A and B are shown apart, each in its own frame.
Chain A
Amino acid sequence: MKKMLAAAVSRVLGGGAQKPASRVLVASCNYSNDATFEIKKCDLHRLEEGPPVTAVLTREDGLQYYRMMQTVRRMELKADQLYKQKFIRGFCHLCDGQEACYVGLKAGANPSDHAITAYRAHGLCYAYGLSVQSILAELTGRRGGCAKGKGGSMHMYGRNFYGGNGIVGAQGQIFEAYNMAALWKLPCIFICENNRYGMGTAIERASASTDYYKRVNFIPGLRVDGMDVLCVREATKFAADYCRSGKGPIVMELQTYRYHGHSMSDPGISYRTREEIQNIRSKSDPIMLLKDKMLNNKLSSIEELKEIDVGVRKEIDDAAQFATTDPEPPLEELGHHVYNNNLPFEVRGTNQWIKFKSIS
Chain B
Amino acid sequence: MAAVSGLVRRPLEQVTVREAINQGMDEELERDEKVFLLGEEVAQYDGAYKVSRGLWKKYGDKRIIDTPISEMGFAGIAVGAAMAGLRPICEFMTFNFSMQAIDQVINSAAKTYYMSGGLQPVPIVFRGPNGASAGVAAQHSQCFAAWYGHCPGLKVVSPWNSEDAKGLIKSAIRDNNPVVVLENELMYGVPFEFSSEAQSKDFLVPIGKAKIERQGTHITVVSHSRPVGHCLEAATVLSKEGIECEVINMRTIRPMDIETIEASVVKTNHLVTVEGGWPQFGVGAEICARIMEGPAFNFLDAPAVRVTGADVPMPYAKILEDNSVPQVKDIIFAIKKTLNI
Residues A348 and B311 in contact in the complex (CB < 8 Å), given A167-B97, A167-B99, A328-B317: yes
In the complex, chain B residues 310-341 whose Cβ is within 8 Å of any chain A Cβ: 310-313, 315-320, 323-327, 330, 333-334, 337
Task: Assess whether A168 is in contact with B69, with CB atoms less than 8 Å apart.
Answer: yes
Interface code B89-119, partner A: CB below 8 Å = 1, 0 otherwise?
Answer: 0000000110111000000000000000000
Contact of B244 with A by CB under 8 A: no
Interface size on B, residues (CB 8 A): 51
Are the CB atoms of A152 and B66 closer together than 8 Å? Answer: no
The 8 A CB mask of A146-177 against B (1 = contact, 0 = none) is 01011111110000000001111111110000
B81 contacts partner chain A, Cβ-Cβ < 8 Å: no
- Measured in the bound complex, the distance between the Cα atoms of B93 and A170 in whole Å is 14
Across the interface, which residues of A come within 8 angstroms of B323, CB to CB? 331, 334, 349-350
Contacts of B330 in A (CB 8 A): 350-351, 354
| Interface of chain B, main secondary structure | loop
Of B12-20, B130-138, B200-208, the one contacting chain A is B130-138
Closest residue of chain A to B140 (Cβ to Cβ) is A166
CB B275 to nearest CB in A, in angstroms, measures 10
Is the beta-carbon distance between A90 and B136 smaller than 8 angstroms?
yes
Whether B41 pairs with A141 at a CB distance below 8 angstroms is no
A342 within 8 A of B: no
On whether A141 and B305 interact (CB within 8 A), knowing A172-B72, A199-B40, the answer reads: no
For B96, the chain A residues whose CB sits under 8 A away are 166-167
How far apart sit A79 and B324, CA to CA, in the bound complex (Å)? 25
A171 to B41, CA, bound (A): 17
Verify A151–B138 contact, CB threshold 8 A.
Answer: yes
Q: Is the CB of B317 within 8 A of A329?
A: yes
Contact of A199 among B69, B136, B326 (CB under 8 A): B69
Contacts of A172 in B (CB 8 A): 70, 72-73
- Best-surrounded residue of A91, A142, A169, A270 (most CB of chain B within 10 A): A169
A176 CB to nearest B CB, Å: 11
Instruction: State which of B100, B135, B319 has its C-beta within 8 Å of the C-beta of A152.
Output: B135
Does B138 lie within 8 Å of A351, measured CB to CB? no
The reply on B299 being an interface residue by CB < 8 A is: no
- Map CB proximity to B onto A170-201 as digits: 1 under 8 Å, 0 otherwise: 11110000000000000000000000001111
Give the residue name and chain of the A residue nearest to B72 (CB): A172
Given A169-B72, A201-B44, A206-B68, residue A351 in contact with residue B320 (CB < 8 A): no
Chain A residues with CB under 8 A of B224: none
Bound CA–CA A335/B327 (angstroms): 18
Residue numbers in B under 8 Å from A89 (CB-CB): 134-135, 316, 318
- The verdict on A201 contacting B66 (CB below 8 Å), with A350-B323, A350-B326 known, is yes
Q: Is B161 located at the chain interface by the 8 A CB criterion? A: no
Q: How far is the CA of A143 from the CA of B134 in the complex (A)?
A: 19
Partner of B317, one of A142, A200, A356: A142
Check if A271 sits within 8 Å of B44, measured CB to CB. Answer: yes
How far apart sit A107 and B138, CA to CA, in the bound complex (Å)?
32
Residues of A within 8 A of B139 (CB): 154-155, 165-167
Q: Is B121 an interface residue (CB 8 A)?
A: no
Q: How far is the CA of A328 from the CA of B135 in the complex (A)?
A: 14
With a cutoff of 8 Å between Cβ atoms, the chain B residues found around residue A199 in the complex are 40-41, 45, 48, 69
A148 to chain B: closest residue by CB: B317
- Bound-state CA distance A336–B39 (Å) is 37
With both beta carbons as reference points, the residue of chain A lying nearest to B333 in the complex is identified as: A351
Distance of B196 from chain A, by nearest CB (Å):
35
**Can you give 9 A-B contacts (C-beta < 8 A)?**
A89-B316, A141-B317, A142-B317, A151-B137, A166-B96, A201-B68, A206-B66, A328-B318, A354-B310
- Chain B interface (Cβ < 8 Å from any Cβ of A): 40-41, 44-45, 48, 66-73, 96-97, 99-101, 133-140, 279, 305-313, 315-320, 323-327, 330, 333-334, 337
Given contacts A170-B69, A201-B41, A348-B308, 20 further A-B contacts (CB under 8 A): A90-B133, A90-B134, A90-B136, A90-B140, A90-B316, A141-B135, A150-B138, A154-B139, A167-B97, A199-B45, A200-B41, A329-B315, A329-B317, A338-B313, A347-B312, A350-B308, A350-B323, A350-B324, A351-B306, A356-B310
Question: Which 3 A-B residue pairs are closest in the complex by CB-CB distance?
Answer: A89-B135, A90-B135, A152-B316
